[in-house]
Structure 1
């Protein structure tokens, strides 16, 4: 069994389609991919995937194997990154990730701390969805990330900011004239929900609406903050979103606080327990200083 067998199997399982996995993820032909999956099943000794009207789905054996395959690849990737770092010990490197939009708030102060301690450090920065950042931390591709506390990863999370949710709406919306918005005011409005890349936030919004005694079915579901604002403006929809997005709003979109006890979502610094980077240790020792330098953090 080779690593490519695991990568091919995971790609098919995650996309739910041999065609999509072959063309968009693996850049190979579908017949070749099918042969690789068949070779893997022969080596495992069990059927892992079956075709259905909805595409390709995992068998019970496939579901069990998927978790182990993903863990195995994660460990291999982490080992590769650790070996690369060990091969170049003279150059100190640090890789940071940010939940899209938060780099505007946290990156300048984070760089101030890093440069003050290590003027010649090589810092790489990426912006992504929270689950993807967590996956990169687990694989050793990032040393530290500002993200949500994703429950499916064995990472350490240290909360740095509690972000209240606000209502996003077109600037000329009927609710824009109010100082605050009740959850009941959202009934009947085109609602934009959070997609699969915002699982933590989506769960908080769903719980808040249930506790408020209202049921809203989203007309659109998106993940990217820029797309959320675009849809708010173009479809005249409303949504609930963390307050940091107010830093990114165009003129056509405004926000209003929620009335009463508004829900909040935590932003955390996340890292892998197995990461022995001295730069990571140094950065974490300055975390209180970092929080103090960012307005609104720690609250």
Structure 2
């Protein structure tokens, strides 16, 4: 059996299961019927026994063919398991590098990350996760994520490098009275249902509170509090309220919700790269060494709507 190959076993099993050489050739093996017939003849010569009984109705297995089918299937199964074991071992031998993104920030920053890591990607297991900012900070703290793009969330052993400042925008229903007047004066919010923030987006909550305080504006948030931009958009649509959100949400807004700039000095919120100071990953160190290429000039998140 020195000349037998796995493809011969695959051909044999396909024909045995289909009961017809032509059907097996066209539907499963994507080869010609004459070529497949020659391969089967070669296999029978290698085995030294007839494996098929050929008739006008198709083929049937001989007793030798029935015995051979069981072992052929077993050999193919073992071969597939061997291939998977080899691939699994190859994956395990690669370094895993996991990057996390504040949900919604992937479109802005993932292409920049892969560009900086382009020489290393073929040799590593590259994973991407999306989480809310506090959860992403927790994942960094646990070591589940090597590097994150998020807000500056204080945690022991985490370091942050601010790479951009995102302007905050007024978000409102598309038919809201303030939607037709260009940039919005933040003092107008005092007369509107203002959707505030829960403890989850606490960095955004604190930035907005400081912005209102600096402008001498007193805003009493309504009873509805948003956890993330998804719930914020839903609350705006359902309550006809207004709120402030970072620029990166603009491409994600449905037709029923619009964004408007604010008059005066624009409030901004930091986006930073976070990582554990004791993470010795060479991929992380290389990335941090080239991070100056990542820092953008001017505000981030200024993508155009499609």
Q: Tell me, yes or no, whether TM beats 0.5.
A: yes
CA positional deviation for 1:89:
7.3
Q: Which residue of 1 aligns with 2:62?
A: none
2:270 paired with 1:248? no
The CA deviation at 1:297 is 4.0
1:160 equivalent among 154, 157, 163: 163
**Structure 1 Cα separation of the partners of residues 217 and 299 of structure 2:** 30
Structure 2 residue matching 1:141: 3-state secondary structure: coil
Q: Deviation at 1:113?
A: 2.2
**CA deviation after TM superposition for structure 1 residue 187, in Å:** 1.2
Map of 1:172-251 to 2, 5 A cutoff? 172-219=175-222, 220-251=224-255
Instruction: Say if 1:184 and 1:296 are closer, same or farther in 2 by CA, change over 3 A.
Output: closer
The question of whether the paired residues in 2 share the 8 Å contact of 1:162 and 1:266 is answered with yes
- 1:108 aligned partner: 111
Larger Rg belongs to: 2
- Scaled by the length of structure 2, the TM-score of the pair is 0.65
Which ranges in structure 2 are unaligned for 5 or more consecutive residues?
1-90
Name the SS for the 1:96 alignment partner: strand
Could you tell me how far apart the structure 1 residues matched to 2:156 and 2:132 are? 14
Aligned to 1:118: 121
Give the SS at the match of 1:196. Answer: coil
Partner of 1:141: 144
Q: Shift of residue 205 of structure 1?
A: 0.5
Separation in 1, partners of 2:100, 2:217: 36
Among 283, 288, 291, the alignment partner of 2:292 is 288
> 1:97 maps to which residue?
100
> How many equivalent residue pairs?
211
**Cα shift at 1:207:** 1.1
| Contact 1:115 1:121 (8 Å CA) reproduced | no
User: Secondary structure of 1:200's partner?
Assistant: helix
State the secondary structure of the residue aligned to 1:116: coil
Gaps of 5+ in 1: 1-87
- Shift of residue 111, structure 1, vs aligned partner: 1.7
C-alpha contact (below 8 Å) 2:167/2:299 kept by paired residues:
no
**Within 5 A, what are the aligned runs for 1:65-104?**
90-104=93-107
Indicate if the aligned counterparts of 1:134 and 1:153 stay in contact, CA closer than 8 A. no
